[in-house]
Amino acid sequence: MASIYQSLKEEAFEANMQIPAQHLAIYTWGNVSAFDKSKSVFAIKPSGVPYPELSVENMVVVDLDGKKIEGSLNPSSDTLTHCVLYREFAVKDGIEMRGIVHTHSTYAVAWAQAMRPIPLFGTTHADHVQTEIPCTPYLSEEMVKKNYELETGNAIVQHFCNLKYNPAEVNMVLVGGHGPFAWGKTPSYAVYNAAVLEEVSKMASITLQVNPGATPLPEYIIDKHYLRKHGPNAYYGQ
Amino acid sequence: MASIYQSLKEEAFEANMQIPAQHLAIYTWGNVSAFDKSKSVFAIKPSGVPYPELSVENMVVVDLDGKKIEGSLNPSSDTLTHCVLYREFAVKDGIEMRGIVHTHSTYAVAWAQAMRPIPLFGTTHADHVQTEIPCTPYLSEEMVKKNYELETGNAIVQHFCNLKYNPAEVNMVLVGGHGPFAWGKTPSYAVYNAAVLEEVSKMASITLQVNPGATPLPEYIIDKHYLRKHGPNAYYGQ
Amino acid sequence: MASIYQSLKEEAFEANMQIPAQHLAIYTWGNVSAFDKSKSVFAIKPSGVPYPELSVENMVVVDLDGKKIEGSLNPSSDTLTHCVLYREFAVKDGIEMRGIVHTHSTYAVAWAQAMRPIPLFGTTHADHVQTEIPCTPYLSEEMVKKNYELETGNAIVQHFCNLKYNPAEVNMVLVGGHGPFAWGKTPSYAVYNAAVLEEVSKMASITLQVNPGATPLPEYIIDKHYLRKHGPNAYYGQ
Amino acid sequence: MASIYQSLKEEAFEANMQIPAQHLAIYTWGNVSAFDKSKSVFAIKPSGVPYPELSVENMVVVDLDGKKIEGSLNPSSDTLTHCVLYREFAVKDGIEMRGIVHTHSTYAVAWAQAMRPIPLFGTTHADHVQTEIPCTPYLSEEMVKKNYELETGNAIVQHFCNLKYNPAEVNMVLVGGHGPFAWGKTPSYAVYNAAVLEEVSKMASITLQVNPGATPLPEYIIDKHYLRKHGPNAYYGQ
């Protein structure tokens, strides 16, 4: 008999397979989850399993406290970070957010290691996000010792709160010293955002190399690019 | 019954498929058009459609005001930029120019974000263009608010006018803060020029990294390289 | 009749084929060995043979003095370096270490040429190693003239001794002016570590480019990341 | 009836096809020749023909003055540079040199554009060449106007003479502002050297980025690495 989470696990599996396809991680260094708000559960990659060994069947279903609901393997060690983001952003803030992805993509990690938010240098960035890509400070020693993965989620939420960023609009972040998280309306769109972040990270590093004094794009161009793709008057696409 | 624009749409389709093949954009981030001067129309990529879903049939045919002539999908959101360039360069200046391409290729975007024209450092560049690759200033707020895509075309035309560059010879440009446009005698040759621009951008960034004081190629070598490939005494090729 | 080293040669062959698969070397620029502690021998790539011409049959079996035990070809010219590392780390120190790999992967070589240990900038690094990736000083002229490959092994051992690094935990090193060596519990895990080193090297170089004043990850985050993957309380994986 | 140059054309064709296979040029930006000293001719790529359209049949055979001996297409526009190098190095100096390659590979071109010889930073370089990779000054205006391609060859020969470099040992060079040439005992080995040059160029640029004060490898390590691969006491390979 098919699992009642069958389609959720299928979505999680397909989105996880996009990580190697889009060159966003080597070996096992990334994970995607697929969230079902009505059931308060998400399906996520099992921990430490290489992408070629993934299947719909070995996706793990957990609830919003990270408790395993279905599956024989351990869920991703980052599961509690996903829990916090779904609880705070999708449930509490009511944002349409059915997928979260974490990778160790090369250029995004480099910016996270540099502890620098990614400046908004151009329209490739502005097409997707109207702000710098935020970078959280290091977690405190207390947070790391208490519950590292859960506090990683809290650090993201707190940083968005401090910056007054709306996670429905800013759907990617660098965890300082660690790497990128991204999310989206669907798991597949979350991976798209992770790929955007990697490309924007690479473009920004080359921009700085070519012109160390490069300045951000003017606000009125940012708004134009963002709004032609997003919001009620968007006219990009079909 | 076949469209009277069938062969134009085929050319547009094939040139658009060269964008991912030459690694000039990820996802949907680029578009090529194919122009028929005798009919005053061009075929262009539909907006926001991923390359694997493109077909000859879903190419969109528009006139030089951007009005849709044939096709069920919306044309690229950059259509009016193409309109301006065909009107000004191909029709008014009489330049042989049957293709235009816009991409978000990584290194060319980085130079555009750096707001720097690409210096003419070597013969790879001089084989194709005898000048720096120009980079337009940011569009003014007024231009952005009036008609962004049309004014992007005007900004390119105005910049060429200011620099006294001949678009028959300088067939590529960076739009400051945005990214590259290139054109050519055929749609396929336009994509070739976009690939040249990306490679020249990458070479120039590494040149500067290795020698921040790198100087331009002497004029007499530029002329030699350009003229052995272009003009009445060219002797490169068959 | 099958060789008594058949399975050892198979392991060596498969791990060597991972070098081009993981883009860790071009042409013949890398080698992996597979060690059998009970027999005091290891199987290693033959010298100068391109990867497409490798086979289980042409793997060379040598003892811990580098003397050929089985095989018609010459073993890798780096064989004596492998001998020293197995003798010192696997036999004398009793470390579980059944594979060693040497490559000329691009970014790791660049750091080795820069004569700089790789700073521990982020969690991708800390997931694998709790220290900087060490970089040995140049070998002295005397060492080079005496027995270069053997002394390369001695230089690594001496450097670990000076730094009080445990080779069971720090399983990768840069030989100054030369390139990376890595090892692991199995030959395949040694290649994994070589791939980690290359990725960490690339991330670190971009980190420095983006922020020349980048600082190391705090100790408490290093410990957390390392210990969630290693040691008695590890909870990563299955 | 088969051409008496059949095997020479086969060698030239196969070596030319290695250029795209080793990612040493895009489109038509590179050429290899195969030399037959006994017949004083070489086979070379036809000018401006994309690699997928190359065949054994369309290779062009020329003599050492660049006069076409066989073939229906025009030979590479760089043919006279090849002529000079074969005449001076292979015939006059008596060096065993049956292949020459010219490419526009990205990192080697960047160093040529930077007008800097590539410092000998590490053993990857020393395994192949015991000196910096030389970079010629710009050709004078007079040389460019007289016979550009022939004078490019003369500039290389003159630069080797000035530096007292032996082209049997230093088998690669950067033409300042232009790009790399490499040669070897066979056409295939010439392409190998071009690939070595590209990889060494990339490693050197990253080395400088990571440590702008990086210093050359000590002489005694250079000699050791070069001599274990070359000369009467070489012990690398089979």
Strands, E assignment, C176-225:
179-184
Q: Is C223 a catalytic residue?
A: no
Taking one residue from C and the other from D, the number of pairs with CB-CB distance under 8 angstroms is 88
Would you call C106 and D199 a contact, using CB atoms and an 8 Å cutoff? yes
What angle (nearest 5°) sits at the alpha carbon of residue D38, between those of residues D36 and D44?
Answer: 20
> Which of A198, A206, A211, A224 to probe the B interface (max B CBs under 10 A)?
A206
A152/chain C closest Cα distance in angstroms: 11
Q: Residue D89 in 3-state DSSP?
A: helix
Average pLDDT over residues C153-164: 98
**B chain contacts of residue D27, beta-carbon cutoff 8 Å:** 192, 195
Average pLDDT over residues C17-34: 95
Average pLDDT over residues A93-117: 98
Structure confidence at residue C177 (pLDDT): 98
Amino acid at B28: T
Q: Distance between CA atoms of D156 and D151, rounded to whole angstroms?
A: 9
Q: Distance between CA atoms of C91 and C101, rounded to whole angstroms?
A: 18
For residue A231, name the pLDDT band (cuts at 50, 70, 90). Answer: confident
Would you call C203 and A113 a contact, using CB atoms and an 8 Å cutoff? yes
Would you call A179 and C209 a contact, using CB atoms and an 8 Å cutoff? no
Would you call B141 and A211 a contact, using CB atoms and an 8 Å cutoff? no
**C chain contacts of residue A208, beta-carbon cutoff 8 Å:** 209-210
CA A175: distance to chain centroid? 10
Strand partners, B7: none
Q: Residue B50 in 3-state DSSP?
A: coil
**A chain contacts of residue C236, beta-carbon cutoff 8 Å:** 47-48, 77
Would you call D206 and C110 a contact, using CB atoms and an 8 Å cutoff? yes
Percentage of the residues of chain A whose pLDDT score is greater than 90: 97
* Residues D179-237 pLDDT 10s: 999 999 999 999 999 999 999 999 999 999 999 999 999 999 999 999 999 988 899 89
Amino acid at C123: T
A123/chain C closest Cα distance in angstroms: 20
Closest CA to D82 of D40, D48, D118: D40
B234/chain A closest Cα distance in angstroms: 34
Q: Distance between CA atoms of C80 and C65, rounded to whole angstroms?
A: 7
Residue of D nearest to B234 (CA): D77
CA atoms within 13 A on the CB side of B165: 22
- Give alpha helix (H) positions in D74-218: 79-85, 106-113, 123-126, 141-163, 187-210
* Residues D90-144 pLDDT 10s: 999 999 999 999 999 999 999 999 999 999 999 999 999 999 999 999 999 999 9
Q: Which of C86, C127, C165, C220 is catalytic?
A: C127
For residue B98, name the pLDDT band (cuts at 50, 70, 90). Answer: very high
Which own/partner pairs from C222-229 qualify as long-range (CB within 8 Å, at least 24 positions apart)? C222/C120, C222/C126, C222/C130, C223/C130, C224/A144, C224/A145, C224/A148, C225/C123, C225/C126, C225/C127, C226/C126, C226/C127, C226/C128, C226/C129, C226/C130, C228/A77, C228/A148, C229/C127, C229/C128
Q: Which chains touch C (3 or more CB pairs under 8 A)?
A: A, D
What angle (nearest 5°) sits at the alpha carbon of residue C125, between those of residues C119 and C126?
Answer: 100
What the block records as the tokens of A160 is 């968005």
Residue B1 has pLDDT above 80, yes or no: no
C126 phi and psi, to 5 degrees? Answer: -65, -25
Chain D contact residues (CB < 8 Å to B): 26-27, 29, 46-49, 73-74, 77, 104, 106-107, 109-116, 138-139, 141, 144-145, 148, 177-179, 204-205, 208-209
Chain C contact residues (CB < 8 Å to D): 26-27, 29, 46-49, 73-74, 77, 104, 106-107, 109-116, 138-139, 141, 144-145, 148, 177-179, 204-205, 208-209
Q: Distance between CA atoms of B210 and D107, rounded to whole angstroms?
A: 10
Closest CB from B104, B138, B209 relative to A218: B138
C6 phi and psi, to 5 degrees? Answer: -55, -50
Residue A1 has pLDDT above 70, yes or no: no
Q: Residue C45 in 3-state DSSP?
A: coil
Structure confidence at residue B222 (pLDDT): 96
Percentage of the residues of chain C whose pLDDT score is greater than 90: 96
Cβ atoms C112, C176 nearer than 8 A: yes
Q: How is residue C48 annotated by DSSP? A: T
Q: Distance between CA atoms of C199 and C188, rounded to whole angstroms?
A: 17
Question: Which contiguous run of DSSP H or E holds residue D69?
Answer: strand D68-70
Q: Distance between CA atoms of D112 and D135, rounded to whole angstroms?
A: 6
Would you call C122 and A179 a contact, using CB atoms and an 8 Å cutoff? yes
> Which of D113, D144, D148, D149 to probe the B interface (max B CBs under 10 A)?
D113
* Residues B27-73 pLDDT 10s: 999 999 999 999 999 999 999 999 999 999 999 999 999 999 999 99
Q: Distance between CA atoms of B112 and A206, rounded to whole angstroms?
A: 11
Structure confidence at residue C1 (pLDDT): 63
Closest CB from B195, B210, B217 relative to D177: B217
Structure confidence at residue D231 (pLDDT): 86
For residue B25, name the pLDDT band (cuts at 50, 70, 90). Answer: very high
Closest CA to D30 of D106, D143, D111: D106
Residue D151 has pLDDT above 70, yes or no: yes
Q: What is the mean pLDDT of chain C?
A: 97
For residue D2, name the pLDDT band (cuts at 50, 70, 90). Answer: confident
**B chain contacts of residue A236, beta-carbon cutoff 8 Å:** 47-48, 77
* Residues D40-88 pLDDT 10s: 999 999 999 999 999 999 999 999 999 999 999 999 999 999 999 999 9
D78/chain C closest Cα distance in angstroms: 28
C197/chain D closest Cα distance in angstroms: 15
C161/chain D closest Cα distance in angstroms: 23
What the block records as the tokens of B3 is 């469209």
Q: How many residues does chain A have?
A: 238
Closest CB from A22, A124, A192 relative to B109: A124
Q: Which of B65, B138, B223, B236 is catalytic?
A: B236
For residue A2, name the pLDDT band (cuts at 50, 70, 90). Answer: confident
Would you call B106 and A207 a contact, using CB atoms and an 8 Å cutoff? no
Strand partners, A31: A102
Closest CA to C181 of C91, C84, C94, C95: C84
What the block records as the tokens of C44 is 């290693």
CA atoms within 13 A on the CB side of A1: 1
Q: Distance between CA atoms of A32 and A99, rounded to whole angstroms?
A: 7
Average pLDDT over residues B126-148: 97
D202 phi and psi, to 5 degrees? Answer: -65, -45
Would you call C178 and D220 a contact, using CB atoms and an 8 Å cutoff? no
Q: What is the DSSP string of chain A?
A: ---TTHHHHHHHHHHHHHHHHTT--STT-EEEEEEETTTTEEEEPBTT--GGG--STT-EEEETT--EEE-SSPB-TTHHHHHHHIIIIIIIS-----EEEEE--HHHHHHHHTT-PBP--SHHHHTT-SS-B-BPPPPPHHHHHHHHHHHHHHHHHHHHHHHT--TTT--EEEETTTEEEEEESSHHHHHHHHHHHHHHHHHHHHHHHH-TT--PPPHHHHHHHHHHHSSTT--S--
Q: Distance between CA atoms of D102 and D80, rounded to whole angstroms?
A: 12
What lies within 8 Å, CB to CB, of B129 at 6+ separation is: B120, B169, B170, B171, B172, B226
A177/chain C closest Cα distance in angstroms: 5
**B chain contacts of residue D104, beta-carbon cutoff 8 Å:** 124, 199
Q: Is C236 a catalytic residue?
A: yes
